[in-house]
Amino acid sequence: MADDITILTEAELRRAVRLDLEAVAVVEQAFAALASGKVVMPPILSMAIPAANGEVDVKTAYIPGFDGFAIKVSPGFFDNPKLGLPSLNGLMILFSAKTGLVDALLLDNGYLTDVRTAAAGAVAAKHLAPADVATAGVIGAGVQARLQIEAARLVRPFGRVLVWARDGAKAAACASDITATLGIEARAESDPARLVAESQLVVTTTPAEEPVLKADWLHPGLHVTAMGSDQAGKNEIDPRALVEAGLYVADRVSQCEKLGELRSAIAMGLWKGGTPPELGEIVSGSKPGRVSEDQVTICDLTGTGAQDTAIATFAMAAARQAGAGSVIST
Amino acid sequence: MADDITILTEAELRRAVRLDLEAVAVVEQAFAALASGKVVMPPILSMAIPAANGEVDVKTAYIPGFDGFAIKVSPGFFDNPKLGLPSLNGLMILFSAKTGLVDALLLDNGYLTDVRTAAAGAVAAKHLAPADVATAGVIGAGVQARLQIEAARLVRPFGRVLVWARDGAKAAACASDITATLGIEARAESDPARLVAESQLVVTTTPAEEPVLKADWLHPGLHVTAMGSDQAGKNEIDPRALVEAGLYVADRVSQCEKLGELRSAIAMGLWKGGTPPELGEIVSGSKPGRVSEDQVTICDLTGTGAQDTAIATFAMAAARQAGAGSVIST
């Protein structure tokens, strides 16, 4: 028989966890732990269900020093919108790292993933973007386009945002939402090359399978965070850009070479840089980050189980403090 | 936002699902589906947490024709008994195979795994044991020793059971429990060779890393089900026995060659039999099972995600019919 299990709904988790500097610090700590080599993070379990145009991914990681570890299950069923349902869902299960007993079920429908993904963008911007960012650009106009800008602004207080997306109306809606949320100037930009030219920080947030950011657009002092690619087949950044940038950083090399931007650069025979640094190595100071205001930096985020364990542990503590959740005795 | 989620506790699941012929039929159906080649079953995700002498496994499978698919999380924390807690725990999450939405959380603490594992033993005995079994032997004296005998008796109504375990007192307690549950003669046997000699059906249920059943003990008409090995490093059956038996059957070849008895036979260079048949191929009739009363047969069970999906779907239907469970709106 197990102990009591706390159940937290999406609404309760949204109240308990916000995309703020505290959440960014928790995810930053997870990256530092990842670099310590003591994290246990098995490869992602992935299952396709072609009959329903669906897939499900399971991620986990054990981080020494954290009381718990999370197992995250993320289904993506891409015919759901036809049924009036969201494509993405999922939950996290938080286990005691000491006993393996289930501590909590976080029925977040992907909310905590949204937060930890955006928080990773903030960690990348904090350590890699130039000190002065006047304009931030975002490519894509979905949930992460909004959240990545919100997160990046926690560490670089820019006053202006440009948004490009294939669908100009969606880019305009996204810009309008950013202005409403952050109270800063934001507008849709019709030319992605101009967006990059005017920005010191660019975040790509698309499921693109052909690059949306060209190597020729790189300019001194630019930082790019590519967070869209999380599967073989996706590719947002011109593979040549990875080679031409002064610094390319992976969230996890073993994942980026299979699922991230690095995969395309390797596949095209362009990557000759050996093992690139990981974000956690830069966070922990064991490898250098940006070395000059002129350097071009690129960070490739595929999403790690370590981030899930970190945000789930944090969410549970926050919810407990707020007295949120219901308890099931088993 | 997701739909309502049903939560079922261990007590509710124990009331809804029993180890009976209906459960055996559901697991048999899962094996048949596995043989059809249409099941999607990714490799097991496994993570060790050495600091707590723990491990956690995640299994899943999609079976066409089943409304849902299960993701099962099984932690094993082997220092727990020192804390007065069970080593094994876990839960299953049942998702809609059409939308990926969470349908139910089955907080079974491993109960459904116990049932589906024992039911697989019954499927093996049904298709591979000789028609007449007077005496069944079991090696090991844990939960599965009891349940494997209970399950096998659903398909072969033997009247006598012999139990061997390293600890004779545990073997005696196990035999006494079997008599109490099934109302048949059961006794501890001090010599495993004699146990095998007197039995027509033997089930091995140990975490042994050195064989507990010798090839020299095989005799005409014997069927052996080895269900203990589920990790590289475990080995219950003398590898030579796999070669000398007239028929060796795997639950899943790709798992048995890494985690089952087949692994040791391959590692020692003894296995020359090519790809062995799978239990599902015998269930579905595409490959022959036992061909004579004298044949020696061995079935190697490592445990499959298909069994988990089958038992979870079955449990949910049974609980729903019984009106069991609480509902969380998310």
% of chain B residues with pLDDT over 90: 93
CATH dotted code for B127-303: 3.40.50.720
Closest-CA residue to B250 (of B277, B274, B226): B277
| C-alpha distances out from residue B55 to A56, B50, B236, Å | 22, 8, 21
Annotate A94-130 with DSSP letters as a single string: EEETTT--EEEEEE-TTHHHHHHHHHHHHHHHHHHS-
The reply to whether A99 touches chain B by the CB within 8 Å rule is: yes
Phi, psi of A19 (to 5 degrees): -80, 90
C-beta neighbour count of B329 within 10 angstroms: 11
pLDDT of residue B232: 86
Q: With helix as H, strand as E and coil as C, how does chain B read?
A: CCCCEEEEEHHHHHHHCCCCHHHHHHHHHHHHHHHCCCCECCCCEEEEEHHHCEEEEEEEEECCCCCEEEEEEEEEECCHHHHCCCCECCEEEEEECCCCCEEEEEECCCHHHHHHHHHHHHHHHHHHCCCCCCEEEEECCCHHHHHHHHHHHHHCCCCEEEEECCCHHHHHHHHHHHHHHHCCEEEECCCHHHHHHHCCEEEECCCCCCCCECHHHCCCCCEEEECCCCCCCCCCECHHHHHHCCEEEECCHHHHHHHCHHHHHHHCCCCCCCCCCEHHHHHCCCCCCCCCCCCCEEEECCCCHHHHHHHHHHHHHHHHHCCCCEEECC
Q: What tens digit of pLDDT does each residue of B249-259 get?
A: 999 999 999 99
Mean pLDDT on B39-68: 93
Residue with tokens 């501890």: B188
Q: Rounded distance, CA B145 to CA B139, Å?
A: 7
pLDDT of residue A88: 87
Handedness of CA A184, A190, A194, A195 (dihedral sign): positive
Residues of chain B numbered 1-60 and touching chain A (CB < 8 Å)? 1-2, 5, 7, 9-11, 40-49, 51-52, 54, 56, 58, 60
Mean pLDDT on B9-22: 96
SS3 A33: helix
Residues of chain A found within 8 Å of residue B309, distances taken between Cβ atoms: none
Residues of chain B numbered 192-211 and touching chain A (CB < 8 Å)? none
The reply to whether B89 touches chain A by the CB within 8 Å rule is: yes
Mean pLDDT on A308-328: 94
Phi, psi of B305 (to 5 degrees): -60, -25
End-to-end alpha-carbon separation of chain A, Å? 6
Mean pLDDT on A239-259: 96
Q: A128-303: CATH homologous superfamily?
A: NAD(P)-binding Rossmann-like Domain (3.40.50.720)
Q: What tens digit of pLDDT does each residue of B95-148 get?
A: 999 999 999 999 999 999 999 999 999 999 999 999 999 999 999 999 999 999
| Interchain contact, B45 vs A40, CB within 8 Å | no
Pairing of the two strands A102-107 and A91-96: antiparallel
Mean pLDDT on A212-233: 95
The reply to whether A326 touches chain B by the CB within 8 Å rule is: yes
Mean pLDDT on B55-76: 94
pLDDT of residue A220: 98
C-beta neighbour count of A93 within 10 angstroms: 25
The reply to whether B95 touches chain A by the CB within 8 Å rule is: yes
pLDDT of residue A160: 98
Contact A78, A71 (CB under 8 A): no
pLDDT band at A232 (very low <50, low <70, confident <90, very high): confident
* Residue B71, both tokens: 């993701």
> What is the 8-class DSSP label of residue A165?
-
Residues of chain B found within 8 Å of residue A102, distances taken between Cβ atoms: 89, 91, 107
Residues of chain A found within 8 Å of residue B77, distances taken between Cβ atoms: 98-100
pLDDT band at B46 (very low <50, low <70, confident <90, very high): very high
CA distance A23 to chain B (A): 23
| Interchain contact, A45 vs B49, CB within 8 Å | no
Closest-CA residue to B64 (of B26, B100, B37, B101): B37
Mean pLDDT on A153-170: 98
pLDDT band at A229 (very low <50, low <70, confident <90, very high): confident
Sequence ranges of chain B with CATH classification 3.40.50.720: 127-303
Whether the per-residue pLDDT at A9 is higher than 90: the answer is: yes
CA A59 from centroid of its chain's CA atoms:
14
> What is the 8-class DSSP label of residue A43?
P
Q: What amino acid is encoded at B12 in this protein?
A: E
> How many residues are there in chain A?
330
Q: Rounded distance, CA B200 to CA B261, Å?
A: 20
pLDDT of residue A329: 82
Q: Nearest residue of B to residue A10 by CA position?
A: B330
Whether the per-residue pLDDT at A2 is higher than 70: the answer is: no
% of chain A residues with pLDDT over 70: 99
> What is the 8-class DSSP label of residue A134?
S
Closest-CA residue to A195 (of A132, A235, A135): A135
Whether the per-residue pLDDT at A11 is higher than 90: the answer is: yes
Residues of chain A found within 8 Å of residue B41, distances taken between Cβ atoms: 47
SS3 A327: strand
pLDDT of residue A3: 72
Sequence ranges of chain A with CATH classification 3.40.50.720: 128-303
Residues of chain B numbered 278-317 and touching chain A (CB < 8 Å)? none
Sequence ranges of chain A with CATH classification 3.30.1780.10: 5-113+306-328
Looking at the partner chain, which of A10, A43, A56 has a beta carbon nearest the beta carbon of B100?
Answer: A56
pLDDT band at A37 (very low <50, low <70, confident <90, very high): confident
pLDDT of residue B330: 74
Whether the per-residue pLDDT at B164 is higher than 50: the answer is: yes
pLDDT of residue B1: 44
Looking at the partner chain, which of B5, B52, B76 has a beta carbon nearest the beta carbon of A98?
Answer: B52
Q: Rounded distance, CA B62 to CA B72, Å?
A: 12
| Interchain contact, B60 vs A47, CB within 8 Å | yes
| Interchain contact, B99 vs A77, CB within 8 Å | yes
pLDDT band at B283 (very low <50, low <70, confident <90, very high): very high
CA distance B80 to chain A (A): 6
pLDDT of residue B231: 83
- Report which secondary-structure segment, H or E, holds A173: helix A168-182
Look up the CATH architecture of domain A5-113+306-328.
Answer: 2-Layer Sandwich (3.30)
Mean pLDDT on B56-72: 94
Q: With helix as H, strand as E and coil as C, how does A238-295 read?
A: CHHHHHHCCEEEECCHHHHHHHCHHHHHHHCCCCCCCCCCEHHHHHCCCCCCCCCCCC
Looking at the partner chain, which of A73, A95, A102 has a beta carbon nearest the beta carbon of B71?
Answer: A73
Residues of chain B numbered 116-135 and touching chain A (CB < 8 Å)? none
Looking at the DSSP bridge assignments, the partners of residue B74 are: B57
Residue with tokens 């309008």: A176
C-beta neighbour count of A87 within 10 angstroms: 16
> How many residues are there in chain B?
330
